[in-house]
A and B are shown apart, each in its own frame.
Chain A
Amino acid sequence: MSLRLSLAGLVTGLAIAAASPALAAEGAPKPPAQSWSFSGPFGKFDRAQLQRGFKVAKEVCANCHAMSLIRFRNLAEPGGPGFTPSQVAALAASYTNIKDGPNDSGEMFERPGRPADAFPAPFANEQAARAANGGAYPPPIDMLAKARTYERGFPKFVFDIFTQYQEQGPDYIVALLTGYRDPPAGVTLLPGQNYNNFMPGHLIAMPKPLSDGQVEYPKGPDGKSPVPETVEQYAKDVAAFMVWMAEPHLEARKRLGFQVMIFLALFAGLLYFTKKKIWARLPDHASAH
């Protein structure tokens, strides 16, 4: 009885937790669930996918979107895309106009990038970004995988506790990047508007960013890219990279989590039997029915 009570209390309390829609996708279909290497309790990033995703982010997204929470050095840290430190140093140095200063004479100056530098933003500030993009602000994409979601609804959000489904963000991003369509009859787009099947309200300022063959992927031994150079593949790869940007310690978290869960489960088991043994000491225990 008591166990049932406490469990019921817990489950219901937690169930309320997810009843809160943060971003209702009014009138938009639910993004289809993708399969991700980093989902589930033993999830890990696919290094090759993160490297491809970084290439898409750098060559396409970073032209308008900032990702300044990421520093070059992060790209070589464990649990990330797995670039080597020398690759990262070379990449950082390829940005020659990092603003620094003031120097001893009080002047600001520009220097080549270092691994400790943040990824340079394409615009100096939000106003500059808006001015260059017809009034629309391209949001930073470093946190977007956690800052975007869609409503799961009851009872799915309860099941999510047990299935550990939490990839609403990347699923939504893939759906959005592949969701550009011609507007249906009756919808007229104003200048600067585009039609997207998965955008809440369907109108999005960002023009279709990806097209097939746009980003050249590293070639395999046969001279061809091991994955197709298509919009779908680009979208999946860059979404995976965005999950890593938003949650760079995801692998360490899940790994430590498994150790903690094993420890706690064993500890709870030992405590249970210790408790039984101690309570058996009560003098009238044997006479209890």
Chain B
Amino acid sequence: MSGHSTYQPKTGIERWLDARLPIVRLMHDSAVSYPVPRNLNLLWTFGGILVFMLVAQIITGVILAMHYTPNATMAFNSVEHIMRDVNFGWLLRYLHSNGASMFFVAVYVHIFRGMYYGSYKAPREVLWILGVIIFLLMMATAFMGYVLPWGQMSFWGATVITNLFSALPVIGETIVTFLWGGYSVDNPTLNRFFSLHFLLPFMIAGVVVLHIWALHHVGQNNPTGVEVKDVKKDTVPFTPYATIKDLFGMVCFMLVFAWFVFYQPNFMGHADNYIPANPASTPAHIVPEWYFLPFYAILRAIPDKLGGVLAMGGAIVILAFLPWIDTSKVKSMTYRPIARQFFWMFVLVCIGLGYLGAMPADEPYVTISRILTVLYFGFFLALALIGIFERPAPLPTSIADSVLGGSGARLGHATASEPQAKG
């Protein structure tokens, strides 16, 4: 998609710099003249929203770190010090804690959008895998961040999750001791989690750069899944068309974000985390943050500890193989009548698993979790099989035709019944 650069240095300084470090050219080519499919819907604004959330989390997080004390005896009170005595500390802290949740809301919309429109298919496999890596890094960052206030759920969540590694044969116990910095979750654990919680967002930012690089190399997918054929007809320049649309999506997202920060700041948290960590008292229910619940449900659905850990890890890692699991050449599920139904069932299964992850590990929840776990992995098997026999609906001949309709779209019926060869 990256064609010839249209950047024209206008002033002497720009020409001088352009000959030495073409950084303005890079920014112009990737954020101004970069061609964007003209038919993108508002779901495509979530990439920009995610960049905004990452930057917001880093800014609020760096300021919070100036006031926070990573020590097992002082961490809880230092968070309360931020909430009470730091100027607008309550705002920073609620922005950061709710920001983590909103980050995951956005990333789940982004992932489901990619799955629905087949954005993982060639030539976007590397782009997709980089996204899965970002998702994994986000989970690690969020998990360690939740430990920092050193409340009851911080402590016991950390104990349960780090203990999972002990299920691994041979090296498991060593890994757990290494994570803890000792023989139980304690001050050394808090210290290393704080250090890593500060480091990982910058690693995420690095992978995000690769993610955007890959995106700009192959070009954006679009709701039809038909690749750009004529840059003039099928695309619009990123600025102002995509810029203004992304900004609009972002501000709408901020409205939801602000609603939680200012009106419901503890809605997505746990009351137990306002009780200081106490190794001698286990909470009645140890529940991870909501964004981990589907995976937590899969973990508990498997009766064997190692099996559960592998299933939970597999539930995430399998996403990286999606480009090769899905056998259909048609990208967008808009034109895949059968796969589309399976997709929506998969969404419901994920929501169901999320609900079950929050429930106690009793019947009937355990049995339902097992059924939904099978359905979760079944979706990927289904994608492999559906592509073989599914008859996709006719694709539009081009993006421009799909937008402008009329004779172009009708013409499309005749020519597009065979799946795209190039994918």
Residues of A at the B interface (CB closer than 8 Å) are 1-3, 5-6, 9-10, 12-24, 26, 41, 69, 74, 139, 143, 146-149, 154, 160-161, 164, 166, 168-169, 200, 246, 248-249, 252-254, 256-258, 260-261, 264-265, 267-268, 271-272, 274-275, 278-279, 282, 284, 287-289
Contact = CB atoms under 8 A, between A and B. Distances in A.
Given A12-B351, A18-B268, A20-B293, A6 B251 contact: no
A13 B259 CA distance: 15
Contact of A143 (B80, B252, B290, B360): B80
A171 to B, nearest CB: 12
For B112, B254, B275, the residue with the greatest tally of chain A CB atoms inside 10 Å of its CB is B275
B272 A278 contact: no
Contact of A146 (B84, B223, B271, B400): B271
Interface string B389-423: 00000000000100111100000000000000000
Contacts of B256: 10
Given A2-B43, A147-B275, A18 B84 contact: no
Interface in B7-43: 38, 41-43
A6 B42 contact: yes
Given A22-B271, A271-B244, A274-B244, 4 more contacts: A17-B290, A24-B284, A147-B275, A257-B261
Contacts of B255: 261, 264-265, 268
B229 interface: no
Contacts of A258: 262
A20 B270 contact: yes
B358 interface: yes
A268 B250 CA distance: 9
Given A20-B287, A154-B355, A272 B248 contact: yes
B172 to A, nearest CB: 28
A264 B153 CA distance: 34
A245 to B, nearest CB: 10
For A41, A246, A249, the residue with the greatest tally of chain B CB atoms inside 10 Å of its CB is A249
A271 B247 contact: yes
Contacts of A169: 271
B277 to A, nearest CB: 12
B133 interface: no
A214 to B, nearest CB: 28
Nearest to A1: B41
A23 B271 contact: yes
A10 B109 contact: yes
22 contacts: A6-B46, A6-B109, A9-B112, A12-B347, A12-B351, A14-B268, A17-B101, A18-B267, A19-B290, A19-B357, A22-B271, A23-B272, A69-B84, A248-B84, A253-B90, A256-B91, A261-B258, A268-B251, A268-B255, A278-B241, A282-B38, A289-B405
Given A164-B263, A254-B262, A261-B259, A19 B271 contact: no
Interface string B261-286: 11111111011111100000001110
B248 A253 contact: no
A-B pairs, 9 with minimum CB distance: A257-B262, A2-B41, A16-B354, A147-B274, A19-B358, A149-B271, A20-B358, A9-B109, A17-B290
Given A9-B109, A21-B285, A246-B274, A284 B252 contact: no
B109 A22 contact: no
A148 B38 contact: no
Interface residues of B, number: 71
Contact of B293 (A19, A22, A147, A246): A19
For A41, A252, A268, A287, the residue with the greatest tally of chain B CB atoms inside 10 Å of its CB is A268
B285 A253 contact: no
A21 B272 CA distance: 10
B263 A257 contact: yes
A169 B270 CA distance: 12
Interface in B157-177: none
A5 B43 contact: yes
Nearest to B354: A16
A161 B108 CA distance: 19
Nearest to A272: B248
Nearest to B258: A260
